[in-house]
Amino acid sequence: MRILGIDPGYGITGFGLIEADRSRFQLLRCGAITTPPNTDFSWRLEVIYNDMTELLRLTKPDAVAIEELFFGQNVTTGIGVAQSRGVILLAIRQAGLEVYSYKPMQVKQALVGYGSATKHQMQDMTKRLLHLTEMPKPDDAADAIAIALCHARSSTSLLSQLQK
């Protein structure tokens, strides 16, 4: 199964495409969609939408996993990320794909087995699962890969098979 993981943002949207076959995982492609700061926000959303549409067309994923938003201290930033996530979700649905959303704690739990895992622990487990010598850059791409791995591990669990 080809899984595209997405870490939404409006300055940087990370993506990671993996191939998952039961408990074997391979990184196929990763990177980021970027928009320059201090430019019209609606233009930035259009760039994200167009680039996401093209990414979906090129990678042809079987499933798309995206991080759910977590609003911390900066609500203004959160609103911008939510708008970015909205155009990403639209692109995914227009491509005819299902969307699977995961909270940051779920991603940590699926990869490390501990919902409060550190960034270092997450990166270490991602490297191990994909047999990488170093983490891909930028960090947003690495986070997107972790989201894809979370879906791969969650969708192949015995519990998910019983729910079908």
Instruction: Kindly list the catalytic residues.
Output: 7, 67, 140
Scan for tokens 């609500």, then name that residue.
75
Calpha distance 3→16 (Å, rounded): 8
For the chain, how big is the Rg over CA atoms in Å? Answer: 15
Q: What distances in angstroms separate CA 104 from CA 22, 30, 50, 150, one per listed residue?
A: 23, 19, 26, 10
In whole angstroms, give the CA distance from residue 3 to residue 151: 8
User: Considering only CA atoms, which of 100, 150, 151, 146 is closest in space to residue 7?
Assistant: 146
